[in-house]
């Protein structure tokens, strides 16, 4: 079961008094403000990375991060995940095989990661630009189904409805709609949380698709491809590097997915349109 920030004493949002202005009129009101906290990820007692993230669904986050950063090859290699509150932040301790722990140490990612950064801490170009192998056949998604998922996503964004400040990553299955959603102040953290949640439930990564409320930057495609997700749709634009990685890895990459409009940037064969 994912650890909730409220159980740790670190809330996912706080209520603070604000002055709200509209032209020359104002009101004193309470506002809900999203929290972020330093999350220290430790493997077999050794520090690996400190990421700023929303203190919510931290077991999902730790497992997803471990998979998408290729620290472990499968969820079964994570023997345990324990979450501890510290005075300065939150510590997540994972137990993995010693051979994997040695590999994690060689990656050299023992630096701080900001919420907006997906490659913080990588010490070499090879580490930062890790290229996963090609994904499998994956699913085919009809354009109407993608539109329905996009239209229904907001009702699953509980924390964003309260704060207006967090991203979401959603998992949808053709014919079944949205199955899982995870939220975080950082787009890549939300995706790691989603991937971790799916892995913990034993979900087939080739059996659905991901929609994110952010741009499709390189590391978002990288994370999807790392676990075999073959379809990623984003409400904002992709980067050139993301498009090139999607082409190489066989990932269907859709950007500017808003309402009934979208742009397919790579591997269009999985998105089905009715042609007039």
Residues annotated catalytic, as ranges: 117
Residue linked to tokens 């992709």: 238
* Cα 182–chain centre separation: 7
Task: Report the C-alpha gap between 267 and 249 in whole angstroms.
Answer: 9
Looking at the DSSP bridge assignments, the partners of residue 112 are: 50
List Cα–Cα distances, 240 to 101, 139, 203, 264, 267, in angstroms: 33, 24, 30, 13, 15
Residues near 209 by Cβ (< 8 Å), separated by ≥ 6? 138, 139, 141, 146, 171, 172, 174, 229, 230, 231, 232, 233, 252, 270
Task: Report the C-alpha gap between 131 and 230 in whole angstroms.
Answer: 14
Q: How many residues does the chain have?
A: 276
Dihedral over Cα of 200, 205, 210, 214: its sign: positive
- The answer to whether 266 and 247 are in contact (CB under 8 A) is yes
Residues near 16 by Cβ (< 8 Å), separated by ≥ 6? 30, 31, 33
Residue linked to tokens 């730790």: 62
List Cα–Cα distances, 181 to 83, 90, 131, 157, in angstroms: 21, 22, 26, 8
* Cα 270–chain centre separation: 22
């Amino acid at each position: 079961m994912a650890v909730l920030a409220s159980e740790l004493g670190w809330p996912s949002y706080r209520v603070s008094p604000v002055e709200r202005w509209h032209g020359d009129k104002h009101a004193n009101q309470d506002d809900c403000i999203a929290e972020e906290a330093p999350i220290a990820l430790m493997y077999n007692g050794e520090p690996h990375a400190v990421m700023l993230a929303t203190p919510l669904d931290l077991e999902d986050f730790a497992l997803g991060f471990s998979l998408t950063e290729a620290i472990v090859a499968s969820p079964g290699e994570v023997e345990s995940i324990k979450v501890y509150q510290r005075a300065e932040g939150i510590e997540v301790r994972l137990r993995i095989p010693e051979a994997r722990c040695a590999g994690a140490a060689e990656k050299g990612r023992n630096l701080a990661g900001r919420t907006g950064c997906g490659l913080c801490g990588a010490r070499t170009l090879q580490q930062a630009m890790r290229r996963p192998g090609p994904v499998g056949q994956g699913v085919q998604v009809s354009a109407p189904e993608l539109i329905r998922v996009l239209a229904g996503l907001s009702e699953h964004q509980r924390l964003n409805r309260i704060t207006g400040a967090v991203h979401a990553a959603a998992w949808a299955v053709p014919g079944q709609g949205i199955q899982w959603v995870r939220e975080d102040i950082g787009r890549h953290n939300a995706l790691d949380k989603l991937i971790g949640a799916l892995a913990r439930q034993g979900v087939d990564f080739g059996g659905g698709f991901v929609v994110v409320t952010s741009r499709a930057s390189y590391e978002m495609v990288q994370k999807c491809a790392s676990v075999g997700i073959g379809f990623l749709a984003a409400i904002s634009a992709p980067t050139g590097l993301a498009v090139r990685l999607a082409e190489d890895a066989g990932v269907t990459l859709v950007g500017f997915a808003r309402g009934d409009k979208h742009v397919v940037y790579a591997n269009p064969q999985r998105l089905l349109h009715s042609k007039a």
